[in-house]
Each structure stands twice: as C-alpha cells, then as structure tokens.
C-alpha cells in the first residue's frame, strides 16, 4: 500500500513521491539512543577555517579524543594522512574510521545522514543541504552522503530526499514520536518555498514517522547563520525533559525573544498531554569578534554513549553551571566540557560539527 505527497521539484513545480506504509514502524531515535559512532567532517586549508586552522583543528582533536574513548569516530576529510598526523597519540585510533572526500566546510550536523531505526533495516535519510538557505557554498558537502553510502562504511537503506532542504540541527527528536523545531528556520526563505507551515509539518511527520511537530515561534542568537536552529536554543533530554537557553539579563538583546521562547516551552505538551520538565541553561556572557556578537550557547551539547560533551567558553562560573544543569538532565552520564571558543568564531559550536549514528550503522 502506498500514498503520495506533493513535493517541490528542482524547477519549482510539484512532483510526487511515494512512501511505503511499512516504514511506519520506523522512528527517529533520540540522541541518547545507543550509538555506533559520530561523524566529524574535518577542517582543512580550503575551508573558511584557513585563517585559524591550527586552533580549530585542536578543538576537533579534543572532540574526537573524547568520542573515541566510547565509540567510533568517522572522520570525513580530503587528506587522511594530514588528519592522522594531527590525532596521533591523542585519539584511540582503534575507534577511528576515515573516509576520503572533498568538502566545503565542517558542519556535519547539517549535511550528514539523519538515521531512522525500527523493525526493518535502518533508513539513512539524505536531505538537500544548501548552505542554510544559499548563504554559503555547499555543493561538495551536499554530495558527501551518496559517496559515503557507496563506500559501504555506513549500513542501511538509502532514503533520497534531495528535493527537500533540511538540516539536522533544525530538528530535535525525543525518540517517542515528537519533533521539536523552529518556525524561523524551517519557514525561512531559500529553503522549501512555496511550501507553507502545514505542508512542511506534513512532510516532517511522514519523513520521521512522527506523531506531533512542536513549533517554536520565538528565540534567536545573534550571529547565528542558520535562521534559528533548535539545537542552539532548546534540546530534548530523557524523561520528557527539555534543556533550554534562559536569559535573565534584561539589558541583553536576547532577553525578550528568549523569554517568549520560555513561555512557549511552558505550554508544550507530551503526546500523553503532560507538561515537559524544563531545565534552564545559563546564557553565556557576550563574546565578540570584530565587533560582532558570536552565537555562544550551552544548548549545543552532544550526547554519546555514556557521556554528554558540552561546549565551554572560558567562563568558569557559567561553564560549571551549565555542566550542573546537564547533570540533572543526564544523571547517569559523565558530563565533559570542551573549550569551543574556536568553533563559535565561525558561528557554530560542538553539536553543529558532529552527527551521531545509531548502533549498527558505521561499519569498519
């Protein structure tokens, strides 16, 4: 049995795709689902990191080192030997898988596969990445997934959704049928026009076999290139919990928007109509480069097997407070801070440069 949904074609006209109803048993796992590994798309001299390459590569080495203690690290890079020299003695090489591929940039969260699990084979969903609404060149990054799949490094069925633009950082799943996202991103220009909110919600429900889409109208960070990715603002945690950025300084330009977001979060309901448990993360002190405020956020944490890696910004009191909040959300996991001041200079953070793969996906 099949049903069809209208989709925007590359020429702007409507096409139709079929979905086998058998995939209803599949689900989009929460990030704390057992993982086989995490993808890092490594910075190199031809990326926007060229002016600060050693600094950002050191940050990537720290991230890879922590992940490799617990699961595999899939490193995508055009120069494997160069990366090997960087990680030598600092990463558990038994847990490193390399894939050689040309890349534009490093934001694996937004160009990597999004994985569905269930009773059948895993389904690797490949959406179109267009540089957050055609802001940046992304042709090479958009081509990584097909090459990676053909290599056999990742296992599962291939789901081609190249007619729909979607970044992994724009959605959050609780693993139970709820997806959290923002209107500012998914309804932004240069993504999926002429689709409206109702059209996009229907597609999200079918792509991810979701029962409800929870939309936030408010919330933003200065310097954010993504139009408001949810992973910079509010994150699902176990036991119907949401950790979110809270601004208490009325003189901060984010105060009003984040207060309105907080009020929205207080009204959200689980599928069984209960309120979420809300855990506020502190707002970082403002960080500037060339007079531009950078989008530093503690919400950009990564859950891996047995640990939560979270970004720190050389703000000892707030860094520690953020770690304490995450310990409340993940009491059984080790909470590990990683200095991500390098990453925010290109307007992202720890979660943005990673993509987790559930158990059984990464082959080696």
Domain locations in the chain? 27-358
98-126 pLDDT per residue, tens: 999 999 999 999 999 999 999 789 999 99
What does the pLDDT read at residue 264? 98
Percent of the chain with pLDDT over 90: 92
Q: Any idea which architecture 27-358 has in CATH?
A: 5-stranded Propeller (3.75)
What does the pLDDT read at residue 25? 78
Q: Quickly count: other Cβ atoms within 10 Å of residue 323's Cβ.
A: 17
252-307 pLDDT per residue, tens: 999 999 999 999 999 999 999 999 999 999 999 999 999 999 999 999 999 999 99
What does the pLDDT read at residue 285? 97
Measured between alpha carbons, how far apart are the two ends of the chain, in Å? Answer: 36
Question: Does the pLDDT at position 14 exceed 90?
Answer: no
Both structure tokens of 152: 């056999």
Give burial (CB, 10 Å; 0-12/13-18/19+) of 266: exposed
Averaged pLDDT, 77-82: 98
Taking each helix axis as running N to C, give the angle between helix 53-68 and helix 80-87, from 0 to 180 degrees, rounded to the nearest 10. Answer: 70
Both structure tokens of 236: 């699902």
Question: Does the pLDDT at position 17 exceed 90?
Answer: no
Question: Does the pLDDT at position 1 exceed 50?
Answer: no
Q: Mapping DSSP to helix (H, G, I), strand (E, B) and coil, where does residue 220 land?
A: coil
| Rounded Cα distance, 229 and 334, in Å | 26
What does the pLDDT read at residue 120? 80
Residues whose CB is less than 8 angstroms from the CB of residue 198 and which lie 6 or more positions away in sequence, other chains included: none
Question: Does the pLDDT at position 181 exceed 90?
Answer: yes
What does the pLDDT read at residue 11? 37
User: Residue 60: what are its φ and ψ, rounded to 5°?
Assistant: -60, -40
Cα distances (Å, whole numbers) of residue 18 to 158, 159, 168: 15, 12, 23
Averaged pLDDT, 134-157: 97
Averaged pLDDT, 17-46: 83
Averaged pLDDT, 143-160: 97
Q: Can you tell me which residue has the tokens 């007619």?
A: 163
CA proximity to 287, closest of 298, 295, 279: 295
């Amino acid at each position: 049995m099949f049903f069809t949904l209208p989709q925007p074609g590359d020429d702007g006209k409507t096409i139709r795709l079929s979905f086998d109803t058998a995939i209803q048993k599949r689900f989009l796992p929460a990030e704390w689902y057992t993982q086989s590994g995490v993808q890092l798309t490594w910075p190199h001299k031809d990326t926007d990191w060229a002016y600060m390459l050693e600094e950002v590569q050191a940050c990537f080495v720290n991230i890879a080192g922590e992940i490799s203690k617990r699961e595999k690290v899939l490193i995508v890079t055009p120069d494997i030997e160069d990366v090997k020299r960087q990680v030598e003695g600092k990463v558990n090489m038994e847990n490193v898988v390399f894939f050689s591929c040309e890349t534009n940039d490093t934001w694996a969260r937004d160009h990597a596969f999004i994985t569905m699990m269930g009773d059948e084979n895993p389904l690797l969903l490949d959406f179109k990445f267009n540089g957050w609404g055609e802001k940046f060149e992304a042709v090479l990054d958009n081509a990584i997934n097909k090459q990676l799949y053909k290599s056999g490094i990742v296992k599962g069925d291939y789901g081609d959704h190249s007619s729909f633009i979607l970044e992994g950082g724009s959605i959050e799943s609780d693993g139970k049928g709820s997806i959290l996202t923002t209107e500012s991103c998914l309804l932004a220009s240069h993504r999926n026009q002429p689709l409206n909110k109702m059209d996009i919600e229907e597609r999200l429900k079918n792509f991810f076999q979701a029962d409800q889409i929870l939309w936030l109208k408010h919330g933003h960070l200065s310097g954010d290139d993504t139009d408001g990715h949810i992973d910079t603002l509010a994150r699902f945690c176990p036991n119907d919990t949401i950790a979110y950025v809270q601004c208490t300084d009325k003189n901060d330009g984010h105060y009003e928007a984040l207060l309105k977001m907080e009020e929205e979060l207080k009204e959200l309901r689980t599928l069984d109509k209960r309120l979420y448990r809300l855990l506020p993360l502190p707002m970082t002190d403002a960080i500037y480069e060339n007079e531009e405020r950078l989008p530093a956020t503690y919400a950009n944490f990564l859950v891996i097997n047995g640990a939560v890696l979270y970004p720190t910004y050389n703000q000892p009191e707030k860094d520690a407070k953020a770690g304490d909040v995450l310990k409340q959300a993940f009491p059984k996991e080790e909470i590990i801070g990683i200095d991500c001041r390098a990453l925010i200079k290109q307007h992202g953070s720890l979660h943005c440069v990673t993509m987790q793969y559930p158990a059984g996906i990464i082959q080696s």
